[in-house]
Amino acid sequence: MKLVRYGAIGQERPGIVDASGTLRDLSAHVSDIAGEALLPESLAHLRAIDPASLPAVEGNPRIGACVGKVGKFVCVGLNYTDHAEEAGMPIPDEPVLFMKPTSCIVGPYDNVEIPRTSVKTDWEVELGIVIGKTAKYVSVEDAYDHVAGYCVINDVSERAFQIERGGQWDKGKGCDTFGPMGPWLVTTDEITDPHVLDMWLEVDGKRYQTGSTRTMIFNVPTIVSYISQFMSLQPGDVISTGTPPGVGLGQKPPVYLKAGQTMRLAISGLGEQRQTTVPAA
């Protein structure tokens, strides 16, 4: 299934995209694509519904982040061999973890703000994992049982804040609008192997990132299991799993975003995002 949230900011409704690409309203069956709606039994109920029986959504509403009421937004750094090489950093022995505040989450087509005093705002196309069942001390073998599905994430980052302001990555990762998510939450039955997905990102029509989840250092079950040893993961929590090479920081010389530019990014099977950069209010 391709699950969607649509409508004005703060008023999103649940939807599903049918096989023909038509957006249909799910609000008679679930209040939001969030929390308990992502439990295995809840997804089984939604999967049993004939999409043709649902009302089609009129017009072209705003598409919101594909998961609502996210409790935790956990990220993995330096998780692609070719990106670690690009950054000139050793391949980590264990996953590098940091958090993005949920206040940074926006829809896949919403504007991205260039923060005040920013000089090094950057892009990162990433595979997102959406948790569908509480995970606490889970094994690698059982980790897939706790995954509801996957989505596209743009882990927007301000490198000066991240690297040059005291060593806390969170400073450069959590600015408002720095977490575009969606357009869809694609459930695991449609993505048989999340480790063979092509991904790309371009700015103003120039391709910067061309990669694949094949070069991930730590795969999906390893990541879910590893994080669950340090914190419990609840339904609706989101994990961003790292980016392939081609970020602005890795260009020679480095290239960073400025207001008035357009980012487009996609992962095969998971849809495409598009954002315009604007000055922060």
Tell me: the pLDDT tens digits for 85-103? 777 778 889 999 999 999 9
pLDDT at 12: 98
Q: Is 108 domain-assigned?
A: yes
User: In 3D, which of 45, 73, 55 has the Cα closest to residue 13?
Assistant: 55
Q: Domains in the chain: how many in total? A: 1
Q: Is 184 domain-assigned?
A: yes
Would you state the structure tokens that stand for residue 85, as one six-digit string?
Answer: 């090489």
Q: Is 17 domain-assigned?
A: no
pLDDT at 81: 86
Is a pLDDT exceeding 80 seen at residue 168?
no
Burial of 153 (0-12, 13-18, 19+ CB in 10 A): buried
Beta-ladder partners of 2: 17, 186
Confidence of residue 84 (pLDDT cuts 50, 70, 90): confident
Q: Is 44 domain-assigned?
A: no
Confidence of residue 166 (pLDDT cuts 50, 70, 90): confident
Cβ neighbours, 10 Å, residue 9 = 11
Is a pLDDT exceeding 90 seen at residue 167?
no
Q: What is the residue-averaged pLDDT of the chain?
A: 96
Q: Is 63 domain-assigned?
A: no
CATH of the domain at 114: 3.90.850.10
Find the mean pLDDT for residues 111-122.
97
Q: Is 19 domain-assigned?
A: no
Strands (E) located in the chain: 2-6, 13-17, 23-25, 73-77, 96-99, 105-106, 112-114, 121-122, 125-131, 147-154, 157-158, 179-180, 185-187, 198-203, 206-212, 238-240, 262-267, 271-279
Confidence of residue 110 (pLDDT cuts 50, 70, 90): very high
| Owning domain of residue 200 | 68-279
Is a pLDDT exceeding 80 seen at residue 14?
yes
Confidence of residue 59 (pLDDT cuts 50, 70, 90): very high
Is a pLDDT exceeding 90 seen at residue 163?
no
pTM for this structure? 0.97
Q: Is 90 domain-assigned?
A: yes
Beta-ladder partners of 125: 154
In tens, the pLDDT along 208-265 reads 999 999 999 999 999 999 999 999 999 999 999 999 999 999 999 999 999 999 999 9
Q: Is 9 domain-assigned?
A: no
Confidence of residue 78 (pLDDT cuts 50, 70, 90): confident
